[in-house]
Structure 1
Amino acid sequence: MDETVSLDLAVDDFPDEYELESLIEKLKDQDPTFLLGIFVALAVVIFTIVLLKFFLGSKTTRNAVLLVGLCDAGKTLLFSRLLLGTFKRTQTSIAESSASYKAKNDRGTSWTLVDMPGHESLRPQYIEKFKASARALVFVVDSAVFQKEVRDVAEFLYSLLTDSTLTTSAPSIIVACNKQDIKMTKSAKLIQQQLEKELNTLRVTRSAALTSQDGSVGGAVYLGRKGRDFDFSQLPMRVEFVECSARGHQGELGDADIQDLETCLAKL
């Protein structure tokens, strides 16, 4: 009985092989033009799938929101406020901190929020580490001492805006003009205007320095548009300036004033 069953099962396996041979014979009888059309159609489908996988994969991997800026700009307190809403005494960071941040929108979008060290000796290595995954950069500025730091702020911002990886991926940039709770601070509009002037000057001096070396500007990405004074609308990425206060106008026991920043993050 077992042998009969085995024989039946073995015989049942043959139709697939016969059908395959029959299909091959039918294909041989087809017009070559028809077969070429089939192969072209299949190639287009496969190519489309590969492209979709590449672009969708790139989009999903760029899920980091980087908090960058000079030392003492208030990045770490802002990091704490965005995540927990609570005030936390901080000190100068020497390494990055990261956590999952849920944007305040109907989609419930989540990003990886990364607080980056602000010291000039540490910044380059952390920018290099995280820039490929950046969905957005929150460039935190100390509005209270901006007039003294404008040159340093502009130089750091210039290095980001001319980075080839960032100009290609074009993450959103939010310039968070922090510490608005302190009297006589610079407004977001004034900070934007002064940065545009300073970046325009830097563009001239940096381009001249590169040109004087070998007669060309090399592989550096040119900031803005040639022949025109620089302004942020010329960049490939969206740039927004917002006013905020991680400490808050009511002090340590009160809430932070970061609603405009949260609104920007909700739109990413």
Structure 2
Amino acid sequence: MVDVDPTYLAVLVALLVVLISCIFVFKKFFGAKADTVLLIGLSDSGKTQMFSKLINNKSTVITYTSLSENIYDGLLTPSNETLRLIDFPGAERMRKQLSEKWLSKERGSLKKIVAVIDSSSINKRARDVAELLYDTLLESNKKVPMLVACNKQDVGLAKAPHVISTLLEKEFSLINQSRAASLQSTDGSNSRALTLTNPNVSFEWNKLPIKVDFVKCCALETDADDEEKNLIGVRDAIGI
């Protein structure tokens, strides 16, 4: 019988455990099929109406505040691929679940994140919208492309996508700076790992490693021939 050095055996077992862990992590985050479109946004942004219209553009939905996701598994692409559509609640108390479940554990399944914005109230809620988008991009490790759906374009006070894009860039710059300053004042840690981009320069969308697009839309789809009153841009972006 051959004697085996216990130290050698322990190292071998440790290496095996690390290898298995690496394989698990790889499959979890890179091996999963990216087939999920995740709708996020503040309450009253029009997410549930959009969810309903993307499934069936003839449907009419009475929306209400919910604390659970709406899930549809049968969204078909022109090439007959099946996508899963998730309407995640806008309630602030659900942010932890959004982060832990969809932006972490299920991140590998995400094809695109659609951030639905009420274009008619963006001036009043710019900071709240920016905080949600900022945290979503940060907590998803800047791995998932994002579409910002500038909803309610049928409302007279609605802002155009390019205006919203510029407004959010400014808000992101402020968030970068405030979080960096807060971290440095508490423990002196490297703030760049916990901010989206370098806090010492103004934020720009093109500084991110993933693409963030802005489109105009109206979840009510009151006029299918009017680009501002339909979901054509959203449908094209998610490939349905």
TM surpasses 0.5: yes
| 1:151 aligned partner, one-letter code | R
> Corresponding residue for 1:167?
141
Q: Is 1:74 the counterpart of 2:50 in the alignment? A: no
> Corresponding residue for 1:179?
152
| 2:147 aligned partner, one-letter code | I
CA contact (8 A) 1:245 1:257 kept: yes
> Corresponding residue for 2:65?
92
> Corresponding residue for 1:195?
168
Segments of structure 1 that go 5 or more residues without pairing to the other structure are 1-49
TM-score (norm 2): 0.79
Alpha-carbon separation, structure 1, partners of 2:113 and 2:64: 21
Segments of structure 2 that go 5 or more residues without pairing to the other structure are 1-21
% identical equivalent positions: 34
Alpha-carbon separation, structure 2, partners of 1:101 and 1:204: 42
> Corresponding residue for 2:197?
224
Candidates 83, 91, 110, aligned match of 2:55: 83
User: What do you get for the CA RMSD once the two structures are aligned?
Assistant: 2.5
Deviates more, 1:144-153 or 1:119-128: 119-128
Query: In structure 2, do the counterparts of structure 1 residues 167 and 87 end up closer, same or farther at CA, with 3 Å as the change threshold?
Result: same
Tell me the CA shift for residue 109 of structure 1: 2.7
Alignment of 1:112-131 (within 5 A): 112-131=84-103
CA contact (8 A) 2:112 2:146 kept: yes
CA contact (8 A) 2:180 2:191 kept: no
Q: Is 1:153 the counterpart of 2:129 in the alignment? A: yes
Structure showing the higher helix proportion among its residues: 1
Alpha-carbon separation, structure 1, partners of 2:192 and 2:213: 27
Candidates 96, 117, 126, aligned match of 1:141: 117
Query: In structure 2, do the counterparts of structure 1 residues 218 and 159 end up closer, same or farther at CA, with 3 Å as the change threshold?
Result: same
Alpha-carbon separation, structure 1, partners of 2:180 and 2:74: 39
CA contact (8 A) 2:177 2:200 kept: no
Tell me the CA shift for residue 111 of structure 1: 1.5
Q: Is 1:211 the counterpart of 2:184 in the alignment? A: yes
Alpha-carbon separation, structure 1, partners of 2:86 and 2:188: 39
- Look up the SS of the partner of 2:141 in the other structure: helix
Alpha-carbon separation, structure 1, partners of 2:68 and 2:75: 23
CA contact (8 A) 1:65 1:134 kept: yes
Alpha-carbon separation, structure 2, partners of 1:114 and 1:99: 7
CA contact (8 A) 1:167 1:236 kept: no
CA contact (8 A) 2:179 2:195 kept: no
Which runs of 4 or more aligned residues in structure 1 lie more than 4 Å from their structure 2 counterparts after TM superposition?
54-57
Alpha-carbon separation, structure 1, partners of 2:115 and 2:76: 18
Alignment of 1:33-72 (within 5 A): 54=26, 58-72=30-44
Tell me the CA shift for residue 123 of structure 1: 2.3
| 2:90 aligned partner, one-letter code | G
User: C-alpha offsets along residues 93-130 of structure 1, whole Å, 9 cap, x if unaligned?
Assistant: 2111111243543x223221100010111122133212
CA contact (8 A) 1:181 1:245 kept: yes
